[in-house]
Amino acid sequence: MFTIYDVTLLMRVMPKIELASALKRVAGNIFDKGGIIRRIDNIGQKPMPYKISKSSVPYREACYFIMEFHYPPNHIAALHQAFIRDVDVIRSQIFEKPNYPKQECTFEEEMKPAPYRSEVQEMIANRKIRGTRFTKNFAYNNGLDYNPLN
């Protein structure tokens, strides 16, 4: 069973050839356990909001990448450790993407006014069952003999 993950990579600034080989090495770590890369987004080379040091080398600029991949959840800690050990990766963070059920969208349903749409009616029904988290009644037993607001 595979789970969908996103990883944000801050890679050190280097020529394109070296950057491509570093990305191949990162992708190889994902492929080793049977992972599948779905998308790689290059955000570009940007200055970092603050100085980050790795292996006693300060970095003020990085190449930003986002990868979406399928990976077995029991091996994700080992993958994160592999990213930490990589000398070209300054910082990495792995996020699990939630699996939302696919919903069919029809034009007729979308053209209805909001109160008549099925998803809005479901939200209203759920609210009536659960209530809201802001329905807290004020208690006057605060230990004072008087109301401090009057």
pLDDT digits (tens, 9 = 90+) for 24-82: 999 999 999 889 999 999 999 999 999 999 989 999 999 999 999 999 999 999 999 99
- Amino acid of residue 75: H
Task: Specify if 9 maps to a domain.
Answer: yes
User: What's residue 93's pLDDT?
Assistant: 95
* Domain coverage including residue 16: 3-96
User: What's residue 111's pLDDT?
Assistant: 87
Helix (H) or strand (E) holding 116: none
Say if CB 88 and CB 102 are below 8 A apart.
no
- In this structure, what CATH number is given to the domain that contains residue 28? 3.30.70.60
57 DSSP assignment: E
Say if CB 75 and CB 33 are below 8 A apart.
yes
Number of domains in the chain: 1
Say if CB 36 and CB 2 are below 8 A apart.
yes
Q: Would the pTM count as exceeding 0.85? A: no
Task: Specify if 104 maps to a domain.
Answer: no
